[in-house]
Structure formats: C-alpha cells, structure tokens
Amino acid sequence: MHNFLDALELIQALTPAQPVTLDRPQAATRAARFFVDRFPGKSLYAVKANPSPDLLRVLWNAGITHFDVASIAEVRLVAETLPEATLCFMHPVKTPEAIAEAYHTHGVRVFSLDCREELDKIVAATGAPEDLTLCVRLRVSSEHSELSLASKFGTELTEARDLLMATRQAADSLGICFHVGSQAMSPHAYVQALDRVRAAIVDASVTVDVIDVGGGFPSAYPGMQPPPLEDYFAIIERTFESLPISYSAELWCEPGRALCAEYNSIIVRVDRRRGEELYINDGAYGALFDAAHIGWRFPVRYLGDTRSSTMADFAFFGPTCDDIDYMAGPFPLPADIKAGDYIEIGMIGAYGAAMRTAFNGFGTSDHYTVGDEPMQSMYTGEARPHWRADNVVSITR
C-alpha cells in the first residue's frame, strides 16, 4: 500500500472520485503506548470500535495483548489475526453456541454476565470447567457521558448480591465490570461507578479478583475537550486501591474510542453545493453514521488551493437517495468552497470505519497510510486545564 506524507499530497497525486480512508498507525501506536505505560492495570482493546486487522496488529505491536470481543465473529477475527492474543468475551448476552466455540475452539476463558440465566448458560456451554474468569456487570450511571450505555446491560445493585455469590461458586476468578457510557467527559463517572462496586462487594461479602472499569475513555472532538486522561487514571487508581478486594486483585479497562479514534480520517469530495449545504460522497450509511444519527461533530478541513479566509458553517448531504443521509454539523469550511473541492473529516477511527454499509451501491473506500498528525489528539502534549481529583467527593463509603 502506498504511503503519503499527508492528505494534501494524496489528493494531488490521486484526485480520487470515491471517498478515501486515511490510516495513521503512528497515532494508534502512540495511544496504545500511553495506556500500556500509564494506566495502572491491564488495558483490553474493545474491538467493536474498529475491527480493522491492520489496526489490531498495530495495537498488538504497541503492547496491547488483551482484547474485548463482543461477538463470535470478533472472537474469530482476533484469533485469526493475533493467535497469541488473550480474548475476553465481554458481551453480557451470548448464545450457547458462541460460548462453546469461544471456549473450546479459541481458548476464551473470560466471560461477562449480568443475570443468573447467563451464568447458567456459560457453565453449561463450557462444561463447568475450573478455569473460568467470570465478570458480573453492574448497571451504573451514564450521566457524565455523551452516549449512554445504562439501559441495556447490567445487574441492579439490589440484585447483585445473589448473582455475585453464585458466580463466585462457578468461577476460578471473579470479576466485577461496568461501563460508564461512551465519551465520558468527567473522571467523576468512574468514582460513582466504583462506589457502586464497593457497595456490591460489601453486601455480597465475596472475594473479588478483577475490577474492570470498562470503556468510556474520551477523545477530543470539536466542542468536546475532555480533561487529560492522566486525571482519569489517577482517580481510578486511588479509588480502586480503597476497595475491599483481594490484595492480588487486578485492575482492567476496555478502551475502544481512546485507542482508535485518531487512527482514521476520511477524504470526501464535494459533488454539489446548494447554499450552505454540501453534497459529499460519504455519509450516514458510511463512515459518518454518528454525524447523521446522533449529531456528532467531527473536525473538518479543506484540502486544496487557496480559498477564502472567511469561514462559513455547512451541513452535509451524503451520496444515497435517502433524506436521512444528512449531517447537520455545523462544519466550518471556507465560505467559497465549491463542487470538486476535497474535505478531510477527522477522528472517524472510532466506529466510523466500522459502521460503513453498501446501501444504495455506495460504501467503498480505499485505504492509504499517511504520516502526518491527526486533526485532534489526546496524546500530543498540548496544554489543557487539568481536572482536579481532589474536588471529587465519594458518594458511598
């Protein structure tokens, strides 16, 4: 695959008629090294955020050895791509067939659950072995996150006691896990969740071997500048160490967005301008699903010869015949942008690359590697105001 210095060089060389996805392996490497070196525990990559085999290999080479897989297809993908990787099947609702294949064929020993039915299913499908690590998922608040994950999974605190006691009997190692929601904008999210973990442990009086704080670690987007990740790590470590757990208990996390958001951007071409609306060749059924359906704002920049220094806010229409193929933005671009111009849309490595479909005959995109920096970053050392861990008051003791 051809490497380019940056997006502009690629445009000048190829003038592509179709969307082009840019890979920045150096950005993913930097993110992975940041978690490996600084998170006070073990980091599992959440594969659903971006299942690219090339990305999986980049993360592995940077020191990520454990992977959060959420389907049997992801189990097979990572097992084939990285045969030595440790796979953790962290979807709380799985089919018996998927559990059996994961355990017996692919060597998966870590499973999550949030009800007695799932516990019984795991025990039956694996044959009740003595080497299971079973993580009970608690329901926690998503109030500090941009995207909630509080309604679908997780056992309530009032029901956790019996489930933890039953799981302790079936597990070689017992874990407690949770997910504070995607793009958590305050480290306080993890304080609240870990206080629920504390209450569950005390109520059940069980020995816990793993505390998995899940995902939610944020990336930087227009209008969303979270605190530094070091602040999240510091408060997680301090709260973890105060829990009534085994002295040998492990701390895990499951970053997805934080490891892959900066890995990809996409170059699109303007096919038509209608006032302040631009018709581009990717959209709601492609890499810009989040921009269309949840109003996510991605960074954008014009690529090409000099345009007006005056900026204007634009909305995008994607290439399909569907009216909902629309991204309201606003996306600030030169006021005199026109058909035939190219735009780079950044930070789509998380979920964007994974959500592309072939609806209406669109959805193809060639990949090229570039060596420049992503359009925004949590890892380049830019000065940001620090969130103060000493401002947090724990709500349960």
Q: Which of these ranges, 226-240, 307-321, 354-368, has the smallest mean pLDDT?
A: 354-368
pLDDT band at 373 (very low <50, low <70, confident <90, very high): very high
**pLDDT of 344 above 70:** yes
**pLDDT of 304 above 90:** no
Q: Measure the CA angle with vertex 184, ends 44 and 146; round to 5°.
A: 120
Angular region, 375: left φ>0, alpha ψ -120 to 50, beta rest: alpha
Question: How far is residue 90's CA from residue 81's CA, in Å, rounded to a whole number?
Answer: 19
**pLDDT of 387 above 50:** no
Query: Residue 247: helix, strand or coil by DSSP?
Result: coil
Residues 21, 353: contact at Cβ < 8 Å?
A: yes
What is the tens place of the pLDDT at every residue in 41-95?
999 999 999 999 999 999 999 999 999 999 999 999 999 999 999 999 999 999 9
Q: What is the pLDDT of residue 146?
A: 67
Query: Residue 271: helix, strand or coil by DSSP?
Result: strand
Write phi, then psi, for 33 (nearest 5 degrees). -65, -35
Domain boundaries, the chain: 3-22+264-370, 26-260
Q: Which of these ranges, 176-190, 262-276, 332-346, has the smallest mean pLDDT?
A: 176-190
- Among candidate residues 260, 257, 279, the one with its CA nearest the CA of residue 270: 279
Q: How many CB atoms lie within 10 A of CB 45?
A: 29
pLDDT band at 145 (very low <50, low <70, confident <90, very high): low
Question: How far is residue 134's CA from residue 173's CA, in Å, rounded to a whole number?
Answer: 6
Q: Do domains 3-22+264-370 and 26-260 have the same CATH topology?
A: no
Residue 24 CA: distances (Å) to CA of 48, 349, 380: 19, 9, 14
Q: Which residues contact 103 (CB under 8 A, 6 or more apart)?
A: 109, 125, 126, 129
Q: What is the pLDDT of residue 148?
A: 65
Instruction: Spell out the CATH class of 26-260.
Output: alpha beta
**pLDDT of 205 above 50:** yes
Q: Residue 45, CB half-sphere, CA atoms under 13 Å: how many? A: 36
Note the CATH number of domain 3-22+264-370.
2.40.37.10
Cut 0.85: pTM above it = yes
Residue 189 CA: distances (Å) to CA of 182, 197, 239: 11, 13, 12
- Among candidate residues 66, 127, 74, 130, the one with its CA nearest the CA of residue 96: 127
Query: Residue 312: helix, strand or coil by DSSP?
Result: strand
Q: Which of these ranges, 184-188, 272-276, 379-383, has the smallest mean pLDDT?
A: 379-383
Helix H or strand E segment including 391 = none
- Among candidate residues 239, 345, 327, the one with its CA nearest the CA of residue 290: 327
